[in-house]
Amino acid sequence: SIADIVPLMARDYFLGKHSDGALLSPLEQSVLISFGLQCKPFEEIHEDLGLPVGQLLSMFSKTTKKLAASYTHKAG
């Protein structure tokens, strides 16, 4: 599942390996850190950031699509 590779995508992003593709907002970066690197469930991220879980899931989906597109761009 996508959740299995999010830690790798997050690591690559914060190591600068997506510099030519994905630009994430500070809030998207916060969600990526919380879920991808700290392995927090969305309910806990909701408590940390004060955003509805549905909004966080939508943002997470958008963020992973941006990162996946960056990988696709590099491969092509």
Expressed in angstroms, the distance from the first to the final Cα of the chain is: 23
| pTM of the full structure | 0.84
Domains: count for the chain? 1
Distance (Å, rounded) from C-alpha 30 to C-alpha 14?
11
Q: What is the pLDDT along the chain (76 residues), one digit of tens a residue?
A: 788 899 999 999 999 886 666 789 999 999 999 999 999 999 999 999 999 999 999 999 999 998 888 876 665 5
> What is the CATH classification number for the domain harbouring 37?
1.10.10
Segments forming the whole domain that contains residue 71:
2-75
